[in-house]
Structure 1
Amino acid sequence: MTATVGAPQRDYFLGLDALRGAGALIVITAHMPDKTLFRLMPSAHLGIDFFFMLSGFVVANAYLSKLERGMGLWDFTLIRLIRLYPLYFLSTVLGAAFFAVLLLKGWADFGWGPWAATLAANLFYIPINPSWAISAGEVYPFNVPAWTLFWELAANTVFALLALRMRGWFLAAVVFSGLVMISLSAISYGNLHQGWAWENFLGGGSRVWFALFAGVALHRLHRQGKLPRIGGTMPLVALTPFAVMALPASAELRPYVDVAVAAIVLPVLVTIAAYTRPRPGFETAFSSWAGRLSYGVYVLQMPIIMIVGTAYAVLFDAPYETLGVFGTLALMGAVVAAAWAADLWFDTPVRNVLRAWHKGVKPRAAAEAAANSSEARP
């Protein structure tokens, strides 16, 4: 069975949706209490770079033409926050509630002051210095992977500001500078597993700078018809990232393997997926569903893992690391189910309300601007 390959069309990006779903599952294996699955994918930390690259392609597809036609930075930022913040808010509140329970039970080694400081900072996407926080390491203790959203929003802002120049040699220079940064970071830290802690937080910035703008560049080439039109079967495309993340590497080779995968393998995967069209029926529906839930799975994973893991430890009087492979698979299923429920009953309704508000704000703002302009005339 082969997928249809042809001229670029929007529905071809269902291949990217399938990869986003695969990327979410890859990332959460690293955070599972039982590390059996993670040991099978020693390069799973590169799932973050994969997400950044897919995001760059998708954001460019959705907004580049609009920015070129005059969409402003404020409007773009509001739209992105409406997309990202509701589930981020939910996940942060769940994480804060979890640690509040630990405090009330006397199981925590921090007080209400650090808890409140962490909540205040993280609710506004602000990374917190460990000396003020509940944790000595993570910059987003209530939801560790949230560091990626900070850097993605920062890169989105740069993208919006420079959208009119995001082409040709300028875009190539941006991507190349990112490649230099991740190369230096990988050699300095020994790998690209950076961004989640205070001591490697800046390394996360280099990862998003390269991967997101590489995704933008791939979209530019796609729109111009300059990408190799190599498609594949939908199941094979969706499963390939798992094989890539299974690449082993010694400590000495790890920085070079990480950079090679980020700079060569991941762009090839995104290119193939962009030209892979799922067959009607199950493949199309599943790809769309996987893409829709991927962000929820990613952003809700840590609170769900912490809550379920602690409940397991209390109920069975055993460390949650003893969950086992089948327990881990069940926990992954619980994360997916939680993301699905949150999408249906929280994220979609909240975003619909915010979108309606946003659509109402723009006409009012335009009317007020016109009124003020007429009042200013002599």
Structure 2
Amino acid sequence: MRRYHDRVKPVLATAPRRFEALDSLRGICAVLVVMFHMPVASHWRDWGLVQHGYLFVDYFFVLSGFVIAHAYAGRLTTPREAGRFMVRRLGRVWPLHALMLAAFIGLELARLFFQIDGATPFVRDRSVEAIFANLLLVQAWHVLPSLTWNGPAWTLSAEVACYLIFAGLVLVAPRRFRWIGAVLALIGAVLVLAYARRWMNTTYDFAVPRAVYGFFLGCLLQGVWTRIPRLGGSAATALEVAAVVAICVFIGWATGPVTVAVTLIFVAVVWVFAGEEGALSRVLDHPALVTLGRWSFAIYMVHMFVLTVLMIVARKLDWVPGGRRIDFGSVWINDLFAVALFGLILVLALVAHRLVETPAQRLIDRWTARPKVAH
């Protein structure tokens, strides 16, 4: 029998910057968030894993903190570098965000001029003043009374706050920023637990504490993961299976204050899969899943617009007998419709990824490239 230490593999400090398995998991989480929002009376609609699918967003925060710290912790040595970091991060999220905001505004103009449904245009969560908060990506900083416009974009607003805090901490305390961030993470968790009305199902009000909680635990994990031995072979596979089962069981079951613990489980998930040692990691490394991960941001950003337009059409065609979910009278037909709907979202996400997200990222990367030193 092999000894335990023979099955433990040291983590090299020169680990690759692209964590393919973690990226694939991000794509899967994005799909589950879409399923959570999808208003179709399918077989899976009432599963706990889907009903509590909003919790998969917290994986995004933990992963973001982990990869941002991995890529930038040693690079933000001057205010100029910190500024370049912020421009690059905004350049990765703002263009597609602005496009989808414009799409929602266009839908509102259609309401105004063509009365496409009975909703009063440019009021409440679709107010004119909220447009400016969304353009500045501050809509989740407790400045508005509700989610507004493209609702899922609240996560971008919360992440921007994390980027600002991260850049400031790395500049001021480069050797201790992770531990300071861990204190901020604890404060964020306490604020959510004590004051958020629906605990981790908080968005526009306690979104920043929620995001800080996950993001800076991700940063802390990145700082220590190279020092934590990990298992290889069948033991790594068992650990990966246990991590997936744990997160699925927890999200399927958790409600109320206990949901705050989901971030801790996602920290464990990121640690387990960052090493890519087990059989599940090899599955997640499949090109189709890696591609899904790369499209995940576009999927996340476009899906609510598609669902909003769908519900306008569905109500006109009497597809919503109960007023909340599309139901054709057969759950199997509902399932097929839901799959087709996701296919449409995927196609539109691919178009957005190729025509907006990727070109914008390349442009920003060129603008912010470090000047070449003459020899």
TM, length-normalised to structure 1? 0.78
Deviations, residues 206-244 of structure 1 (Å, cap 9, x unaligned): 11111000111111112x332644643899599658724
2:19 is paired with a residue whose SS is helix
Residue in 2 that maps onto 1:123? 135
Residue in 2 that maps onto 1:376? none
Q: State which of 75, 82, 104 in structure 2 corresponds to 1:95.
A: 104
Q: Is the 8 A contact 1:300 1:339 kept in 2?
A: yes
Q: State which of 289, 296, 320 in structure 1 corresponds to 2:298.
A: 296
Q: Using the TM superposition, give the Cα deviation of residue 60 of structure 1 relative to its aligned residue in structure 2, in angstroms.
A: 1.4
- Write the mapping of 1:346-361 to structure 2, written as runs, cut at 5 A: 346-359=356-369
Q: Is the 8 A contact 2:39 2:324 kept in 1?
A: yes
Q: Does 1:23 align with 2:56?
A: no
Residue in 2 that maps onto 1:54? 63
Q: State which of 331, 342, 350 in structure 2 corresponds to 1:340.
A: 350
2:248 is paired with a residue whose SS is helix
Q: Using the TM superposition, give the Cα deviation of residue 272 of structure 1 relative to its aligned residue in structure 2, in angstroms.
A: 0.9
Alpha carbons of structure 1 residues 342 and 241: separation in structure 2 relative to 1, 3 Å: farther
State how far apart, in whole Å, the 2-side matches of 1:110 and 1:211 are. Answer: 37
State how far apart, in whole Å, the 2-side matches of 1:83 and 1:62 are. Answer: 15
Q: State which of 95, 104, 109 in structure 2 corresponds to 1:86.
A: 95
Alpha carbons of structure 1 residues 241 and 123: separation in structure 2 relative to 1, 3 Å: farther
Alpha carbons of structure 1 residues 316 and 112: separation in structure 2 relative to 1, 3 Å: closer
Q: Does 1:179 align with 2:189?
A: no
Q: State which of 65, 80, 85 in structure 1 corresponds to 2:74.
A: 65
State how far apart, in whole Å, the 2-side matches of 1:5 and 1:23 are. Answer: 28
Deviations, residues 266-315 of structure 1 (Å, cap 9, x unaligned): 11111111012577798431242122111111122211211233233334
Q: Using the TM superposition, give the Cα deviation of residue 91 of structure 1 relative to its aligned residue in structure 2, in angstroms.
A: 1.4
Q: State which of 125, 133, 145 in structure 1 corresponds to 2:152.
A: 145
Q: Does 1:215 align with 2:194?
A: no
Question: Mind listing any 5+ residue stretches in structure 1 that lack a counterpart?
Answer: 368-378
What letter is aligned with 2:338?
T
Q: Is the 8 A contact 1:30 1:45 kept in 2?
A: yes
**Percent sequence identity over aligned pairs:** 24
Q: Does 1:271 align with 2:279?
A: no
1:232 is paired with a residue whose SS is helix
Q: State which of 203, 222, 232 in structure 2 corresponds to 1:195.
A: 203
State how far apart, in whole Å, the 2-side matches of 1:96 and 1:237 are. Answer: 44
1:321 is paired with a residue whose SS is coil
Q: Is the 8 A contact 1:19 1:273 kept in 2?
A: no
Q: Is the 8 A contact 2:11 2:228 kept in 1?
A: no
Residue in 1 that maps onto 2:165? 158
Alpha carbons of structure 1 residues 358 and 12: separation in structure 2 relative to 1, 3 Å: closer
What letter is aligned with 2:348?
A
Q: Is the 8 A contact 2:150 2:304 kept in 1?
A: yes
Q: Is the 8 A contact 1:18 1:238 kept in 2?
A: no
Q: Using the TM superposition, give the Cα deviation of residue 177 of structure 1 relative to its aligned residue in structure 2, in angstroms.
A: 3.9
Q: Is the 8 A contact 1:12 1:275 kept in 2?
A: no
Q: State which of 200, 204, 207 in structure 1 corresponds to 2:207.
A: 204
Residue in 2 that maps onto 1:372? none
Q: State which of 11, 19, 38 in structure 2 corresponds to 1:7.
A: 11
State how far apart, in whole Å, the 2-side matches of 1:97 and 1:235 are. Answer: 45
State how far apart, in whole Å, the 2-side matches of 1:347 and 1:234 are. Answer: 35
Residue in 2 that maps onto 1:32? 38
What letter is aligned with 1:186?
L
State how far apart, in whole Å, the 2-side matches of 1:229 and 1:156 are. Answer: 32
Q: Which has the higher helix share?
A: 1
Q: Is the 8 A contact 1:55 1:212 kept in 2?
A: yes
Alpha carbons of structure 1 residues 70 and 232: separation in structure 2 relative to 1, 3 Å: farther
The number of equivalent residue pairs is: 344
State how far apart, in whole Å, the 2-side matches of 1:11 and 1:280 are. Answer: 17
Deviations, residues 27-53 of structure 1 (Å, cap 9, x unaligned): 222211136535312432211211100
Q: Using the TM superposition, give the Cα deviation of residue 357 of structure 1 relative to its aligned residue in structure 2, in angstroms.
A: 3.2
